Amino acid sequence: MQSFVKKYSIFLMLYIVFQPILDSITGLMMRMHMDVTFGVFIRMIVMAVTVFYLLIYLILNRDNKKGFMIIGYFVLLALMSIINLVINFKTKTLFVPSLELTTLAKSIYYPVMLLGYFYAFEELAEDRIINRLFPRAIFYAINIVSIIMIVAHFTGSSFSSYSYYKLGESGWFFAANELSAIVSITFPIMIWYALEKIDTWTRIYYWITIILAAYSALLIGTKGSLIAVIFGICMGILSTIIQFFRRGANKKMMAFLAGILVITLGGIFLAYPAMAVSRTAELHSEMIKDKKQKAKTKKGLTKDQEKYVKTNKTVSYLLSGRTVYFENASGNFSKATPAQKIFGMGYATNFKKVKNAKLVEMDYIDIFFQFGFLGTIVYMAPLLYCLIYLIGTFFRKFIYMWSFKWALLVASVVLGFGMALLTGHVIEAPSVSIYFVSILAYAMFNARIFLRTNDDPYTIGVNE
């Protein structure tokens, strides 16, 4: 069994590299209107095996207190999920078992994989395998995404991010928002890996991968990917400046790295007018004007269109109409039974037709409506614990947090939590949450070592 734990821990690292391939196959299958996709099937199998892996790991390590807490959490989560299903089966106007069960399975993916990766890091830390595997796995995975995006772009086979605008590209991936969240969360890790690798002047070729990743991210045309690229580069610049003034620093190398970061940032600003995200901002303004003009005609606007027009222009652009979906879902929740308010309304609150089932696409809000007051506390507990722990570590070790490894790891975690609100499709989307939870688990594992030993952990290096 110990051999299984070791091998499966390594598999979880390699599993990250195969994510873009799964996603591109899934994208093609969904374009062919196939109900059960290859990617979802594989991810559910991996989740099931990871549950077995966690049980074996806890048994072998014989940490009874920790084991009981983790098993107790999953029992509680399972109980809450069953109650949620039973209540909504009896209460909802239209209960679609396939939608409810699929959504629930995707929701449970994050806590299972978060713990799976945390213990995988513990297992592999002893022989320092994670130094070679995890940062490199993220680096290779996003390089595969970049290659797919660029090949799709230049062969004219890319899907549109915004079909109604015919703007932006999502390569051979189905969902532009999910793709945007993936590149947003991982981009700082890409920068960290490249900056650590460029330890001599001759290794500047690593920066080419960052240029390609940034180019691919900006091809998508979403606001989230643009914000993430700029934020990641700015954090890199800040960390190089701080290191430049530290004793013993290679000032020439730090100045050189800061220079390529600044040049890259400048190039993005210069290219902005030609980007799809720039054009979507213009079209958004045009659409608002058109709707206001239409409101004056006899035909008028629908209730949702009227809500959209009345929303603050900047807010409606940043949230892309999610405020309208929030108002509708909030109205349904206010009419829900007490049991539904406590345990949740399941998928997309209450709807009379499947085509009218709309998520708000802001993860924290969707989670609240899905799981209710009590269910949300249970479901979000691991994330809240990680967030509080990492914030505490950041301030307690503040002076150490400006190395490339910590500054950009922090940036990645911040973007993960931020994109969950801004674009959604992070926590409850397995194709995205796998990146988020693995990076979060990596940060938690190293933060625990840092606080326990007061030494910057070797396990977070990339050059060994």
Cα 4 versus chain centre, distance: 29
Picking from 329, 347, 367, the residue at the C-terminal end of a domain is 367
Q: Where is pLDDT greater, at 218 or 162?
A: 218
My answer on whether 170 and 50 are in the same domain is yes
Residues 48 and 134 in one domain: yes
- Cα angle 231-179-186, degrees, rounded to a multiple of 5: 40
Same domain? For 310 and 249 the reply is no
For residues 126-136, average pLDDT? 77
Structure tokens at 90: 């009896």
Structure tokens at 393: 């570590």
pLDDT the model gives residue 201: 74
Domain check: are 129 and 239 in the same one?
A: yes
Tens digits of residue pLDDT in 267-319: 999 988 888 777 766 665 655 555 545 545 545 555 555 555 455 455 455 55
232 is in which domain, residue-wise?
Answer: 2-278+368-460
Residue pLDDT, tens place only, 37-86: 678 889 999 999 999 999 999 888 767 778 889 999 999 999 999 999 99
Same domain, residue pair 188 and 227? yes
For 98, half-sphere exposure in the C-beta direction (CA atoms, 13 angstrom radius) is 3
Q: Are residues 266 and 295 in the same domain?
A: no
- Cα separation, 213 vs 313, in Å, equals 31
For residue 2, what pLDDT is reported?
79
Q: Are 367 and 360 in contact (CB under 8 A)?
A: no
Both 54 and 135 in one domain: the answer is yes
Neighbours of 397 (CB within 10 A): 15
Paired with 169 in beta bridges are 160
User: So what's the pLDDT on residue 84?
Assistant: 96
pLDDT at 413: 97
Confidence at residue 298, expressed as pLDDT on a 0 to 100 scale = 47
pLDDT in tens, 179-195: 999 999 999 999 999 99
Give the residue among 439, 453, 368 at the shortest CA–CA distance from 408: 439
Give mean pLDDT, residues 12-26.
Answer: 92
What is the average per-residue pLDDT within 108-123? 94
Has residue 445 got a pLDDT over 80? yes
pTM equals 0.91
Number of separate domains in the chain = 2
**Residues 350, 235 within the same domain:** no
Residues 134 and 270 both lie in one domain: yes
Where a domain ends, among 313, 334, 367?
Answer: 367
* 8 A C-beta contact, residue 30 and residue 162: no
pLDDT mean across residues, the chain? 86
pLDDT, tens digit (0-9, with 9 covering 90-100), for 367-406: 999 999 999 999 999 999 999 999 999 999 998 899 999 9
Neighbours of 90 (CB within 10 A): 10
Same domain, 373 and 384: yes
Kindly state the tokens that stand for 373.
Answer: 């007051």
Closest CA to 423 of 103, 180, 142: 180
- The DSSP call for residue 428 is S
Q: If you average pLDDT over residues 352-358, what whole number do you get?
A: 83
For residues 440 and 131, give the distance between their C-alpha atoms in angstroms, rounded to a whole number. 16
Each residue of 408-426: pLDDT tens digit? Answer: 999 999 999 999 988 888 9
State pLDDT tens for residues 253-263: 999 999 999 99
Domain boundary among 317, 338, 367: 367
- Is there a single domain that holds both residue 254 and residue 328? no
Percent with pLDDT over 90 in the chain: 55
For residue range 224-237, list pLDDT tens digits in order: 889 999 999 999 99
pLDDT of 371 reads 96
Residue with tokens 């949230």: 319
Please state, in angstroms and rounded to a whole number, the distance separating the CA atoms of residues 37 and 30.
7
Q: Is 38 helix (H, G, I), strand (E, B) or coil?
A: helix
Does one domain contain both 315 and 403?
A: no
